[in-house]
């Protein structure tokens, strides 16, 4: 068989069915020994990613930042955090990734800057009505002494969404700035043309350096409803995906408010911004691409971001939210595909990222003692991954899921760095649990993450056996399973973009057929805990299974496949 084309050999459409690997750079690989992952560390592991078989890497922010929100607080969009590397390192990263046939996607944060950004520093030293103030959402307070914030909006990270502008002596003034996230993340004013021009320029700055695209942070934010009306915040929050009672009580979902049409999410005006950005991306050859972090209430609202002159793709969080529930998964798949078809865009699929509980833990059933059954969690995670990789469109993989890493739910309170942790009084802000560094070797204490043994978050000793080195030697490991899945997905025309047909299947079982001229593939996911017998007409030529519970049954000379509980399988047809 000839080698399937790499992402670089399909310059126009590679993103339509790519497998994109998310790197959280502080936690990937540390070359400097300070316990913080960095760009040279990432470069040293590009062979690992190429060998895993991904088409592109998306790297969470590595700009200059005080790191109050893991780099999503950008102090300078045109420079690199010195702790993570230099501009030369980024140039090498792009060259080295491209040399291995992989694309590089950066992360852009347009809803807010860091309070250490030169613009906000200028605003702090400027007067009401100044040009510097107009770049941010700064308003007079309410009340006789303007001691009340301009409206009742809350921060996604808990508490008030507004903080006082302060004078040179640090005294509060009657003016307030909006921060939908941490106090150190002032929201930009997207009514101001200067903000538009600045971001177009930032895009070009990086595109000119060879960056292939951007993931857009909080892409459903940016534009706020005119008049900044009060918002009737839902009292009951349902929880960030995966953070249920077992992980944290009374958790607020980061973006739960968007389900209730908050006046700061998913405003129609945001689409004008993406039309401008698309025009910039299309100036390049090959065109650069975007993927929005778009938390919206339903797949219909999501598809609006993928209209032909807007973003290429967006994350499809309805599927991530569906949990281990065949009906909910099927509904999300159907709605997503149908709505994306109306705008001619391919869907994306994602099961884990740096903001949600890792899917091995999130999908795990509760054991009798009330803790997550991580053994079954791994079975389910592998099965969900295999089935998802057979869906049409592109797929995002979060670093460490290919090792089957569980969430680290027992981090010490004083180790936590999520800004929502102190703001919620320790009831929320547990995102550090999915950001613990990657184990590369069996060596404690930092499993080869850094040469010095340092790690910015402690790595649990019970991860022994889950390192890249350990799993590379075990043909049954989750890592080898991911490698096989990605290789087969790349080799077979039926997987990737294209249409999908559902097969009739028993309750709790999902079965899809993917068609191509060179052969069809059937993907089956059994979410029940009992084996299911597949009809003989579905064939028995197993390409890959997520677990060992696969058996061939010879029933009166007819071969049938039996798929174990909580297992997925790909069958050639």
Task: Indicate which residues carry an active-site annotation.
Answer: 217, 283
> Minimum distance from CB of 253 to ligand GLC (Å)?
11
Of residues 217 and 428, the one with the C-beta less far from ligand GLC:
217
State both tokens at 491.
């080799």
Strand partners, 108: 216
If the CB atoms of residues 49 and 109 are measured against ligand GLC, the closer one turns out to be 109
| Residues making contact with ligand GLC (CB under 6 A) | 69, 72, 109, 181, 217-218, 293, 354-355
In this structure, are residues 102 and 56 in contact, taking their beta carbons and an 8 Å threshold? yes
Residue sitting closest to ligand GLC (CB) = 72
Give one DSSP letter per residue of 222-267, joined into a string. Answer: S---TT-------SS---STT--TTT-TTPPPTTGGGGGT-TTSS-
Report in angstroms how near the CB of residue 109 gets to ligand GLC at its nearest.
Answer: 6
Question: Least CB distance from residue 286 to ligand GLC, whole Å?
Answer: 27
Please say which residue, 220 or 382, places its beta carbon nearer to ligand GLC: 220
| Residue carrying structure tokens 């997207």 | 190
**Pair 239, 247: CB distance under 8 Å:** no
Q: Are 215 and 108 in contact (CB under 8 A)?
A: yes
Give the pair of three-digit tokens for residue 154. 């809350």
What's the CA gap between 136 and 120, in Å, rounded? 8
Distance in Å, CB of 48 to ligand GLC, minimum: 24
d(CA 42, CA 104): 12
Contact between 153 and 231 under an 8 Å Cβ cutoff? The reply is yes
Strand 558-563 to 567-572 pairing: unpaired
The verdict on whether omega for the bond into residue 445 sits within 30 degrees of 0, i.e. cis, is yes
Q: Which is nearer to ligand GLC, 72 or 133 (CB)?
A: 72
Angstrom CA distances, 100 to 95, 468, 469, stand at: 9, 20, 21
State the minimum distance, in angstroms, from the CB of residue 14 to ligand GLC: 24
Q: What is the dihedral of CA 470, 475, 480, 481, to 10 degrees?
A: -130
- What's the rounded Cα separation, in Å, for the pair 160 and 182? 10
DSSP E strands in 382-429: the ranges are 394-398
Shortest spacing between CB 145 and ligand GLC, in angstroms: 31
Q: Which is nearer to ligand GLC, 349 or 387 (CB)?
A: 349
Which of 181, 463 has the CB closer to ligand GLC? 181
Min dist CB 70 to ligand GLC, Å, is 6
| Contact by Cβ (8 Å): 153, 162 | yes
Residue whose token pair is 């803790």: 371
> Based on CB atoms, which residue is closest to ligand GLC, 7 or 357?
357
Closest CA to 427 of 549, 250, 231, 288: 250
* Min CB(59)–ligand GLC separation in Å: 13
196 CB neighbour count, 10 Å cutoff: 16
Q: How far is the CB of 198 from ligand GLC (least distance, A)?
A: 18
Q: Which is nearer to ligand GLC, 293 or 470 (CB)?
A: 293
Q: Which lies closer to ligand GLC via its Cβ, residue 217 or residue 266?
A: 217
Q: Are 159 and 421 in contact (CB under 8 A)?
A: no
Q: 61 vs 149, which CB is nearer to ligand GLC?
A: 61
Q: What is the chain's alpha carbon radius of gyration, rounded to the nearest angstrom?
A: 24
Nearer of residues 69 and 407 to ligand GLC, judged by Cβ: 69
Residue 196's alpha-carbon distances to 117, 121, 226, 278, 312, in angstroms, are 16, 19, 18, 13, 20
Q: Which two tokens stand for residue 446?
A: 């930092």
What are the backbone angles phi and psi of residue 38, rounded to the nearest 5°? Answer: -150, 175
Question: What's the min distance (Å) between Cβ of 120 and ligand GLC?
Answer: 15
Alpha carbon 244 to chain centroid, angstroms: 19
Eight-state DSSP code of residue 502 = E
Burial of 258 per CB tally in 10 Å (0-12, 13-18, 19+): buried
- Find, among 91, 3, 15, the residue nearest to 58 by Cα: 15
Alpha helices by DSSP H, 390-433: 420-423
Give the residue carrying structure tokens 């058996």.
551
3-state secondary structure of 494: coil
- Give least dist CB 97 to ligand GLC, A: 22
Q: Which of the 8 DSSP states describes residue 403?
A: G
């Amino acid at each position: 068989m000839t080698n399937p084309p790499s992402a670089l050999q399909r310059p126009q459409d590679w993103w339509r069915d790519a497998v994109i690997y998310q790197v959280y750079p502080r936690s990937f690989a540390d070359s400097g020994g300070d316990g913080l992952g960095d760009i040279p560390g990432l470069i040293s592991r590009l062979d690992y990613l190429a060998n895993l078989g991904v088409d592109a890497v998306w790297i969470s922010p590595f700009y200059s930042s005080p790191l109050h929100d893991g780099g999503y607080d950008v102090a300078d969009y045109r420079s690199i955090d010195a702790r993570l590397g230099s501009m030369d390192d980024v140039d090498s990263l792009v060259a080295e990734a491209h040399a291995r046939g992989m694309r590089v996607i950066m992360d852009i944060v347009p809803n807010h800057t860091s309070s250490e950004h030169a613009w906000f520093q200028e605003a702090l030293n400027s007067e009401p009505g100044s040009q510097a103030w107009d770049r941010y959402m700064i308003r007079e307070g309410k009340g006789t002494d303007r001691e009340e914030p301009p409206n009742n909006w809350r921060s996604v990270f808990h508490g008030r969404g507004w903080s006082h502008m302060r004078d040179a002596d640090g005294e509060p003034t009657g003016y307030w700035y909006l921060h939908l996230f941490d106090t150190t993340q002032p929201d930009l004013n997207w009514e101001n043309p200067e903000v538009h021009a600045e971001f177009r320029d930032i895009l070009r700055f990086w595109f000119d350096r060879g960056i292939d695209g951007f993931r857009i942070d909080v892409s459903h934010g940016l534009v706020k409803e005119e008049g900044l009306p009060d918002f009737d915040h839902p009292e009951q929050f349902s929880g960030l995906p995966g953070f249920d009672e077992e992980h944290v009580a009374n958790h607020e979902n980061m973006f739960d408010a968007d389900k209730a049409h908050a006046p700061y999410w998913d405003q129609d005006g945001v689409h004008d911004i993406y039309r401008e950005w698309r025009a910039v991306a299309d100036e390049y050859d090959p065109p650069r691409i975007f993927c929005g972090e778009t938390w919206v209430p339903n797949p219909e609202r999501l598809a609006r971001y993928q209209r032909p002159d807007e973003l290429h793709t967006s994350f499809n969080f309805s599927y991530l939210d569906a949990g281990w529930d065949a009906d909910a998964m099927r509904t999300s798949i159907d709605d997503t595909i149908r709505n994306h078809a109306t705008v001619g865009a391919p869907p994306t699929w994602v099961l884990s990222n740096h903001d949600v509980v890792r899917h091995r833990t999130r999908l795990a059933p509760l054991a009798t003692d009330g803790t997550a059954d991580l053994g079954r969690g791994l079975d389910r995670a592998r099965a969900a991954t295999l089935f998802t990789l057979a869906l049409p469109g592109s797929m995002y993989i979060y670093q460490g899921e290919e090792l089957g890493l569980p969430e680290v739910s027992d981090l010490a309170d004083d180790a936590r760095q999520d800004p929502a942790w102190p703001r919620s009084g320790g009831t929320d802000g547990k995102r550090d649990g999915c950001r613990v560094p990657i184990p590369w070797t069996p060596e404690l204490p930092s499993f080869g993450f850094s040469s010095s043994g340092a790690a910015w978050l402690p790595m649990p000793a019970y991860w022994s056996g889950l390192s890249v080195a350990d799993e590379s030697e075990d043909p049954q490991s989750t890592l080898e399973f991911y490698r096989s899945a990605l290789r087969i997905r790349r080799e077979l025309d039926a997987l990737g973009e294209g249409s999908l047909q559902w097969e009739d299947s028993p309750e709790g079982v999902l079965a899809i057929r993917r068609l191509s001229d060179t052969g069809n593939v059937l993907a089956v996911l059994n979410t029940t805990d009992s084996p299911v017998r597949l009809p003989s007409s579905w064939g028995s030529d197993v390409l890959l299974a997520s677990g060992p519970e696969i058996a061939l049954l010879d029933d009166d000379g007819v071969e049938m496949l039996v798929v174990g509980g909580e297992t997925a399988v790909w069958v050639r047809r």
